[in-house]
Amino acid sequence: MAFSGICELMSRTLSAPFFSATPVFTRADYARAVGRAPADKTVTAMLSQHVKAGNIKRIARGLYASVPKHADPTTWWVDRFLLASRLRPDAVIGYHSALELHGYAYTAEFDVQAIAPGEPGLFKTAEFSCRFVRPTTPLGPDSVTTVDRLGQAVAVTTLERTVADLFDRPDLAGGAEELVNSLDLVGRLDAERLAAHLAANGNATAAGAAGWWLESHREHLRVPDTALEAIHKLAPRQNRYALGATVGQGQAAPGWGVILPRAFVDQRFEGL
Protein backbone atom coordinates (compact mmCIF):
# COMPACT_ATOMS: atom_id res chain seq x y z
CA MET A 1 0.00 0.00 0.00
CA ALA A 2 1.30 3.47 -0.86
CA PHE A 3 2.42 5.82 1.91
CA SER A 4 -0.55 8.12 1.31
CA GLY A 5 -2.90 5.16 1.56
CA ILE A 6 -1.42 4.07 4.88
CA CYS A 7 -1.79 7.58 6.26
CA GLU A 8 -5.40 7.71 5.14
CA LEU A 9 -6.21 4.38 6.78
CA MET A 10 -4.50 5.37 10.03
CA SER A 11 -6.29 8.71 10.01
CA ARG A 12 -9.72 7.14 9.70
CA THR A 13 -9.06 4.49 12.34
CA LEU A 14 -7.24 6.47 15.02
CA SER A 15 -8.12 10.11 14.55
CA ALA A 16 -11.93 10.27 14.64
CA PRO A 17 -12.30 9.18 18.28
CA PHE A 18 -9.51 11.54 19.33
CA PHE A 19 -11.02 14.52 17.52
CA SER A 20 -14.43 13.79 19.02
CA ALA A 21 -13.04 13.75 22.56
CA THR A 22 -10.46 16.54 22.21
CA PRO A 23 -11.77 19.91 20.98
CA VAL A 24 -8.32 21.56 21.19
CA PHE A 25 -5.01 19.74 20.99
CA THR A 26 -1.34 20.12 20.25
CA ARG A 27 0.71 18.17 17.73
CA ALA A 28 2.24 16.25 20.64
CA ASP A 29 -1.23 15.32 21.95
CA TYR A 30 -2.19 13.99 18.55
CA ALA A 31 1.07 12.09 18.12
CA ARG A 32 0.52 10.28 21.41
CA ALA A 33 -3.04 9.41 20.40
CA VAL A 34 -1.88 7.76 17.16
CA GLY A 35 1.17 6.11 18.70
CA ARG A 36 3.81 8.20 16.94
CA ALA A 37 6.66 10.49 17.95
CA PRO A 38 5.75 14.20 17.66
CA ALA A 39 8.47 14.78 15.04
CA ASP A 40 7.36 11.86 12.87
CA LYS A 41 6.67 12.89 9.26
CA THR A 42 3.65 10.61 9.29
CA VAL A 43 2.09 12.85 11.94
CA THR A 44 2.65 15.84 9.66
CA ALA A 45 0.98 14.04 6.77
CA MET A 46 -1.98 12.93 8.86
CA LEU A 47 -2.59 16.38 10.30
CA SER A 48 -2.30 18.02 6.89
CA GLN A 49 -4.79 15.55 5.47
CA HIS A 50 -7.33 16.33 8.19
CA VAL A 51 -6.88 20.08 7.78
CA LYS A 52 -7.58 19.74 4.04
CA ALA A 53 -10.61 17.57 4.75
CA GLY A 54 -12.02 20.16 7.15
CA ASN A 55 -11.92 17.80 10.12
CA ILE A 56 -9.61 20.10 12.06
CA LYS A 57 -8.32 23.64 11.75
CA ARG A 58 -4.86 24.93 12.46
CA ILE A 59 -4.87 27.73 15.03
CA ALA A 60 -1.16 28.29 15.52
CA ARG A 61 2.06 26.39 15.01
CA GLY A 62 1.49 22.98 16.59
CA LEU A 63 -2.01 23.85 17.86
CA TYR A 64 -5.25 22.58 16.32
CA ALA A 65 -8.99 22.56 16.97
CA SER A 66 -11.41 19.80 16.06
CA VAL A 67 -14.31 20.79 13.82
CA PRO A 68 -17.65 19.11 14.61
CA LYS A 69 -19.29 17.08 11.89
CA HIS A 70 -21.35 19.17 9.44
CA ALA A 71 -19.70 22.40 10.71
CA ASP A 72 -17.93 24.73 8.31
CA PRO A 73 -14.26 25.00 9.38
CA THR A 74 -14.03 28.50 7.90
CA THR A 75 -16.77 29.83 10.20
CA TRP A 76 -16.52 27.49 13.19
CA TRP A 77 -15.57 29.45 16.31
CA VAL A 78 -13.56 27.55 18.88
CA ASP A 79 -13.68 28.40 22.58
CA ARG A 80 -11.19 31.25 22.95
CA PHE A 81 -10.31 30.53 26.59
CA LEU A 82 -9.52 26.92 25.80
CA LEU A 83 -7.38 27.93 22.84
CA ALA A 84 -5.53 30.62 24.77
CA SER A 85 -4.74 28.18 27.57
CA ARG A 86 -2.97 25.93 25.05
CA LEU A 87 -0.96 28.56 23.19
CA ARG A 88 1.91 28.38 25.66
CA PRO A 89 2.89 25.66 28.11
CA ASP A 90 1.62 26.32 31.66
CA ALA A 91 -0.56 29.24 30.57
CA VAL A 92 -3.11 30.41 33.16
CA ILE A 93 -6.07 32.62 32.27
CA GLY A 94 -5.97 35.77 34.42
CA TYR A 95 -7.15 39.32 35.03
CA HIS A 96 -10.40 40.35 33.30
CA SER A 97 -10.55 37.07 31.39
CA ALA A 98 -10.45 35.19 34.69
CA LEU A 99 -13.42 37.24 35.87
CA GLU A 100 -15.25 36.11 32.74
CA LEU A 101 -14.48 32.47 33.47
CA HIS A 102 -15.63 32.86 37.07
CA GLY A 103 -18.86 34.41 35.80
CA TYR A 104 -18.34 37.89 37.25
CA ALA A 105 -17.34 40.05 34.28
CA TYR A 106 -19.80 42.86 33.60
CA THR A 107 -18.97 42.83 29.90
CA ALA A 108 -17.34 40.18 27.74
CA GLU A 109 -14.22 41.00 25.77
CA PHE A 110 -12.69 39.15 22.84
CA ASP A 111 -9.10 39.64 23.94
CA VAL A 112 -7.98 36.90 26.32
CA GLN A 113 -5.44 37.67 29.03
CA ALA A 114 -3.13 34.81 29.97
CA ILE A 115 -0.31 34.59 32.48
CA ALA A 116 2.48 32.47 31.03
CA PRO A 117 6.25 32.00 31.09
CA GLY A 118 8.19 33.91 28.49
CA GLU A 119 8.03 37.41 27.13
CA PRO A 120 4.82 39.47 27.31
CA GLY A 121 3.18 39.94 23.96
CA LEU A 122 0.06 39.78 21.86
CA PHE A 123 -0.86 36.73 19.80
CA LYS A 124 -3.53 37.27 17.16
CA THR A 125 -5.63 34.77 15.27
CA ALA A 126 -8.54 35.33 12.90
CA GLU A 127 -10.91 34.59 15.79
CA PHE A 128 -9.41 36.23 18.88
CA SER A 129 -6.34 37.83 20.41
CA CYS A 130 -4.44 36.60 23.44
CA ARG A 131 -2.35 38.97 25.54
CA PHE A 132 0.40 37.26 27.52
CA VAL A 133 1.16 38.98 30.82
CA ARG A 134 3.86 38.55 33.43
CA PRO A 135 2.41 38.23 36.92
CA THR A 136 3.54 40.56 39.69
CA THR A 137 4.21 37.51 41.84
CA PRO A 138 4.58 33.84 40.82
CA LEU A 139 1.49 31.66 40.63
CA GLY A 140 1.48 29.10 43.43
CA PRO A 141 -0.99 26.29 44.09
CA ASP A 142 -3.18 28.66 46.11
CA SER A 143 -3.44 31.00 43.09
CA VAL A 144 -4.75 28.62 40.43
CA THR A 145 -7.85 26.52 39.92
CA THR A 146 -9.40 24.89 36.85
CA VAL A 147 -12.69 25.25 35.00
CA ASP A 148 -14.23 22.99 32.40
CA ARG A 149 -14.44 24.19 28.81
CA LEU A 150 -15.87 21.69 26.32
CA GLY A 151 -14.77 18.81 28.52
CA GLN A 152 -11.17 20.03 28.86
CA ALA A 153 -9.61 21.62 31.92
CA VAL A 154 -8.50 25.25 31.67
CA ALA A 155 -6.22 26.73 34.34
CA VAL A 156 -7.43 30.07 35.71
CA THR A 157 -6.43 32.25 38.65
CA THR A 158 -8.66 31.84 41.70
CA LEU A 159 -11.22 34.56 42.32
CA GLU A 160 -9.21 35.99 45.19
CA ARG A 161 -5.99 36.06 43.17
CA THR A 162 -7.91 37.56 40.24
CA VAL A 163 -9.32 40.41 42.32
CA ALA A 164 -5.92 41.16 43.85
CA ASP A 165 -4.30 41.19 40.41
CA LEU A 166 -6.95 43.48 38.94
CA PHE A 167 -6.44 46.08 41.67
CA ASP A 168 -2.70 45.70 41.08
CA ARG A 169 -3.10 46.09 37.29
CA PRO A 170 -6.32 48.11 36.73
CA ASP A 171 -5.20 48.64 33.14
CA LEU A 172 -6.11 44.97 32.61
CA ALA A 173 -9.51 45.35 34.26
CA GLY A 174 -11.19 47.28 31.47
CA GLY A 175 -11.26 50.51 33.47
CA ALA A 176 -12.64 51.54 36.87
CA GLU A 177 -16.24 51.43 35.70
CA GLU A 178 -15.92 47.90 34.36
CA LEU A 179 -14.09 46.80 37.50
CA VAL A 180 -16.64 48.12 39.98
CA ASN A 181 -19.57 46.80 37.96
CA SER A 182 -17.91 43.39 37.73
CA LEU A 183 -17.07 43.26 41.42
CA ASP A 184 -20.64 44.12 42.27
CA LEU A 185 -21.59 40.72 40.82
CA VAL A 186 -19.36 38.83 43.26
CA GLY A 187 -21.46 37.01 45.83
CA ARG A 188 -18.81 35.05 47.69
CA LEU A 189 -15.13 35.64 48.32
CA ASP A 190 -12.51 34.54 50.86
CA ALA A 191 -11.36 37.91 52.18
CA GLU A 192 -8.42 36.48 54.10
CA ARG A 193 -7.05 34.83 50.96
CA LEU A 194 -7.54 38.11 49.12
CA ALA A 195 -5.54 39.86 51.85
CA ALA A 196 -2.73 37.32 51.45
CA HIS A 197 -2.56 37.89 47.68
CA LEU A 198 -2.56 41.67 48.13
CA ALA A 199 0.32 41.33 50.59
CA ALA A 200 2.26 39.14 48.15
CA ASN A 201 1.77 41.64 45.32
CA GLY A 202 3.27 44.38 47.50
CA ASN A 203 1.29 47.25 45.96
CA ALA A 204 0.12 49.60 48.71
CA THR A 205 -2.13 51.61 46.37
CA ALA A 206 -3.84 48.43 45.18
CA ALA A 207 -4.29 47.28 48.77
CA GLY A 208 -5.89 50.58 49.75
CA ALA A 209 -8.35 50.50 46.86
CA ALA A 210 -9.18 46.83 47.42
CA GLY A 211 -9.58 47.42 51.15
CA TRP A 212 -12.02 50.24 50.59
CA TRP A 213 -14.05 48.09 48.18
CA LEU A 214 -14.05 45.14 50.57
CA GLU A 215 -15.10 47.30 53.51
CA SER A 216 -17.97 48.79 51.53
CA HIS A 217 -19.22 45.25 50.83
CA ARG A 218 -18.37 43.71 54.18
CA GLU A 219 -21.93 42.69 55.07
CA HIS A 220 -22.75 41.29 51.64
CA LEU A 221 -19.48 39.32 51.46
CA ARG A 222 -19.34 38.56 55.20
CA VAL A 223 -15.87 40.00 55.53
CA PRO A 224 -14.19 39.28 58.88
CA ASP A 225 -12.54 42.12 60.76
CA THR A 226 -9.22 40.27 60.69
CA ALA A 227 -9.09 40.48 56.88
CA LEU A 228 -9.82 44.21 56.83
CA GLU A 229 -7.21 44.81 59.53
CA ALA A 230 -4.62 42.87 57.54
CA ILE A 231 -5.32 44.84 54.36
CA HIS A 232 -5.39 48.14 56.24
CA LYS A 233 -1.78 47.53 57.31
CA LEU A 234 -0.85 47.26 53.62
CA ALA A 235 -2.55 50.54 52.57
CA PRO A 236 -0.62 53.79 51.95
CA ARG A 237 -0.02 56.13 54.87
CA GLN A 238 -0.63 59.17 52.65
CA ASN A 239 -3.24 59.52 49.93
CA ARG A 240 -2.32 58.19 46.50
CA TYR A 241 -4.33 58.33 43.29
CA ALA A 242 -5.66 54.92 42.30
CA LEU A 243 -7.68 53.24 39.53
CA GLY A 244 -7.13 56.09 37.11
CA ALA A 245 -8.28 58.93 39.36
CA THR A 246 -6.82 62.32 38.47
CA VAL A 247 -6.45 65.67 40.17
CA GLY A 248 -9.85 67.32 40.52
CA GLN A 249 -11.66 64.17 39.41
CA GLY A 250 -11.13 61.93 42.43
CA GLN A 251 -12.56 61.38 45.88
CA ALA A 252 -10.72 60.21 48.97
CA ALA A 253 -11.59 56.81 50.39
CA PRO A 254 -11.55 57.61 54.13
CA GLY A 255 -9.13 55.50 56.11
CA TRP A 256 -7.61 53.72 53.13
CA GLY A 257 -5.00 56.21 51.89
CA VAL A 258 -6.22 56.35 48.30
CA ILE A 259 -8.05 58.75 46.03
CA LEU A 260 -10.43 56.91 43.72
CA PRO A 261 -12.49 57.94 40.70
CA ARG A 262 -15.52 59.72 42.11
CA ALA A 263 -17.93 57.41 40.31
CA PHE A 264 -16.20 54.41 41.90
CA VAL A 265 -16.71 55.80 45.39
CA ASP A 266 -20.26 56.98 44.77
CA GLN A 267 -21.14 53.68 43.06
CA ARG A 268 -23.45 55.42 40.64
CA PHE A 269 -22.72 53.22 37.69
CA GLU A 270 -25.51 51.42 35.94
CA GLY A 271 -26.69 48.44 37.95
CA LEU A 272 -25.30 49.66 41.29
Parse the chain into domains and list their residue ranges.
Answer: 3-66, 80-266
What pLDDT, on the 0 to 100 scale, is given for residue 1?
47
Q: What order of strands is seen across the sheet that includes strand 258-261?
A: 240-241, 258-261, 250-253
Task: Report whether pLDDT(243) > 60.
Answer: yes
Segment 224-244 shows an average pLDDT of: 94
Determine whether domain 3-66 maps to CATH 1.10.10.10.
yes
Helices 3-10, 41-53: axis angle to 10 degrees equals 70
> How many CB atoms within 10 Å of residue 54?
14
263 φ, ψ (degrees, to nearest 5)? -65, -30
Instruction: Kindly report, residue by residue over 57-114, the tens digit of the pLDDT.
Output: 999 999 999 999 888 888 888 899 999 999 998 999 999 999 999 999 999 877 899 9
Segment 157-171 shows an average pLDDT of: 96
What pLDDT, on the 0 to 100 scale, is given for residue 6?
57
Averaged pLDDT of the chain: 89
Task: Report whether pLDDT(179) > 80.
Answer: yes
- Contacts of residue 158, Cβ cutoff 8 Å, sequence gap at least 6: 142, 143, 144, 145, 193
